[in-house]
Structures are given as C-alpha cells and as structure tokens.
Amino acid sequence: MINVELFYDDDNVRGFVVKGHAKFAPKGEDLVCASVSALSQTAILGLDAFMTVKPLWKINEDGYLECWLPDIVSPKDMQNAQVIIGTMEIGLKNIEESYEQYLKVGRRRCV
C-alpha cells in the first residue's frame, strides 16, 4: 500500500511524504504507483518552478518521497505552494476513491 501524509500547520500545508508500493500490478505495469509518482513528482517540479525559495525534497527507488517547504516563505510563494500541493491532493484523493485498498491519503498537523 502507498501512504501519503500531508503535513499542515494552521491553514497551510508545509510538506508531504509518500511511502510504499501499491502492489496493484507487477512492477512496470502498476497504474496506481505510476499515478501517485506522476502527481507527487509533478508537484515538486511545480514548487521548484514557481517558488523563489526552493523546496527541500528527496526521493529513492524504495517507494519513498518527501518534500518540505522552507521555514521562511514569502506570501506569494506560500500561495503558489498551497495551490500546487492542493491540486496534488485532489488528484491523489480521486485515485484513493477508486483504489482505497492500494492508496491511503491523510493529513497531519506539524509538530
């Protein structure tokens, strides 16, 4: 199963973590895994393109990706980040509706 956690402070998302493999189909044929990868990696590309201060992120081949907004973000960068990550969340939630046994999307409050 793939688990996606979006981390929020008051009203703003501050980062997200994607872990696991869907195991919906064999490697290279798994449309759930490919969809989650495409959405989450495109979100990082969008953040990189539309923020003046770049997000901090890492990814590995073991089904792990994390992305965090910098501690200090301008209001415009924060607004752009909320739209980009919010759009990712909408897409992931849509996939979760059809493939809930393979994908779980949740929200957590930042500590």
Summarize pLDDT for 3-16 with one digit per residue, the tens. Answer: 999 999 988 999 99
Domains, the chain, ordered by start: 2-106 (3.30.70.1490)
Active site residue 33: yes
Residue 10: predicted pLDDT: 84
Average pLDDT over residues 103-107: 97
pLDDT tens for 24-69 read: 999 889 999 999 999 999 999 999 999 999 999 999 988 899 999 9
Residue 62: predicted pLDDT: 84
Q: What are phi and psi of 90, to 5 degrees?
A: -60, -45
Listed range (69-73, 99-103, 107-111) with the worst mean pLDDT: 107-111
Statement: residue 111 has pLDDT above 80: no
Q: Alpha-carbon distance 65 to 42, whole Å?
A: 12
pTM confidence score: 0.94
Q: Are 54 and 47 in contact (CB under 8 A)?
A: yes
The Cα-based distances of 106 to 26, 51, 77 in angstroms read 25, 24, 23
- From 6, 18, 33, 85, active-site residue: 33
- From 19, 21, 23, 104, active-site residue: 21
Active site residue 38: no
Q: Alpha-carbon distance 68 to 84, whole Å?
A: 13
Residue 110: predicted pLDDT: 86
